[in-house]
Amino acid sequence: MVKRTSRDIRTANRYEVLRQIIAESPTSRQELAAATGLSLATVATLVGELLDLRMLTEVGFEDSAGGRPRGLVAVNAAGGALIGVDIAETYVRAELFDLGLNVLARAAEHMRPGESRPEQVVGHVTTAVGSVVAQAGIEGARVLGVGVSVPGQVDRVTGVAEYAPNWDWHDVPLLDLLTEHIAYPLHLDNPLRACAVAELWFGAARGHANAVVVNLGTGVGAGLVIGGGVHRGVSNSAGEWGHTTLVLDGRLCHCGNHGCVETYVGAPGIMLNLRELDPGGALLHPEDQTATVDALARGVAAGDPVAVKVVRDTARYLGAGISDLVNLLNPEIVVLSSWVAATLGEPLVAEVREAVARHALKRPLAATEIVLSPIPGDPVCLGAATFALEGALSSVTQRSSAARRGAPVPLKPV
Partner DNA sequence: GGGGTTAGGAAAGGGGCTGAAGAAAGTCCC
Partner DNA sequence: GGGACTTTCTTCAGCCCCTTTCCTAACCCC
Q: Which residues bind DNA (CB under 7 A)?
A: 5-7, 9-10, 13, 28-30, 37-42, 44-48, 61, 63-71, 398
Site for its own copies in 237-256 (CB under 8 A): 237-241, 243-248, 250, 255
CA distance linking residue 39 with residue 23, whole number of Å: 20
CA dihedral sign of residues 239, 262, 248, 360: positive
Q: Is 367 one of the binding residues for its own copies (CB under 8 A)? A: yes
- What amino acid occupies position 266? G
Q: Residue 51 or 272: which CB sits closer to DNA?
A: 51
- DSSP letters for 77-132: GGG-EEEEEEE-SSEEEEEEEETT--EEEEEEEE--TT--SHHHHHHHHHHHHHHH
| Interatomic CA distance for residues 409 and 19, integer angstroms | 22
40 binds its own copies (CB under 8 A): no
Minimum Å distance from CB 83 to its own copies?
27
Residue 199 or 240: which CB sits closer to its own copies? 240
Q: Which of 276, 289, 154, 163 is nearest to 218 (CA)?
A: 289
69 binds, among its own copies, DNA, none (CB under 5 to 8 A by kind): DNA
Alpha-carbon dihedral of residues 409, 411, 413, 414, nearest 10 degrees? 180
94 vs 253, which CB is nearer to its own copies?
A: 253
CB of 38 vs DNA, minimal distance in Å: 4
Kindly identify the residues of this chain, within the stretch 304-323, that bind its own copies according to CB under 8 A. Answer: 320-321, 323
148 CA to centre of own chain: 11
**Are the C-beta atoms of 106 and 94 separated by less than 8 Å?**
yes
Site for its own copies in 182-241 (CB under 8 A): 207-210, 222, 224, 226-228, 231-241
Which range of residues in 172-180, 288-296, 337-345, 358-366 is near its own copies by CB under 8 A?
358-366
Where in 80-119 is the site for its own copies (CB under 8 A)? none
Out of DNA, its own copies, none, what residue 140 binds, judged by CB under 5 to 8 A for its kind, is none
The nearest distance, CB 75 to DNA, in angstroms, is 16
Binding letters toward its own copies, positions 137-166, x by CB under 8 A: ----------------x--------xx---
- Residues 186 and 179: beta-carbon distance below 8 Å: yes
Rounded distance between C-alpha atoms, residue 161 and residue 134, angstroms: 28
Distance in angstroms (rounded) separating the CA atoms of residues 219 and 260? 11
Strand order in the sheet with 220-226: 229-230, 220-226, 211-216, 333-337, 369-372
Contact call for residues 333 and 326 (beta carbons, < 8 A): no
Could you give the C-alpha distances from 272 to 88, 262, 283, 341, in angstroms and in order? Answer: 22, 11, 12, 17
Beta-strand pair 103-110/143-149: unpaired
For position 45 contacting its own copies by CB under 8 A, the verdict is: no
Smaller CB separation from DNA, 66 or 137: 66
Comparison of 314 and 343: residue with beta carbon closer to its own copies: 314
Binding partner at 361 among its own copies, DNA, none, C-beta below 5 to 8 Å by kind: its own copies
Residues 6 or more apart in contact with residue 63 via CB below 8 angstroms: 69, 70
Sites for its own copies among residues 269-298 (CB under 8 A)? none
∠ CA 108-384-320 to the nearest 5 degrees? 100
Binding partner of residue 293 among its own copies, DNA, none, CB under 5 to 8 Å per kind?
none
**Residue 64 binds which of DNA, its own copies, none (CB < 5-8 A, kind-dependent):** DNA
Q: Is 384 one of the binding residues for its own copies (CB under 8 A)? A: no
Q: Give min distance, CB of 105 to DNA, in A.
A: 34
Give me the residues that bind its own copies (CB under 8 A), please: 1-6, 8-9, 12, 16, 36-37, 153, 162-163, 207-210, 222, 224, 226-228, 231-241, 243-248, 250, 255, 257, 259, 320-321, 323-325, 327-332, 358-359, 361-364, 366-368
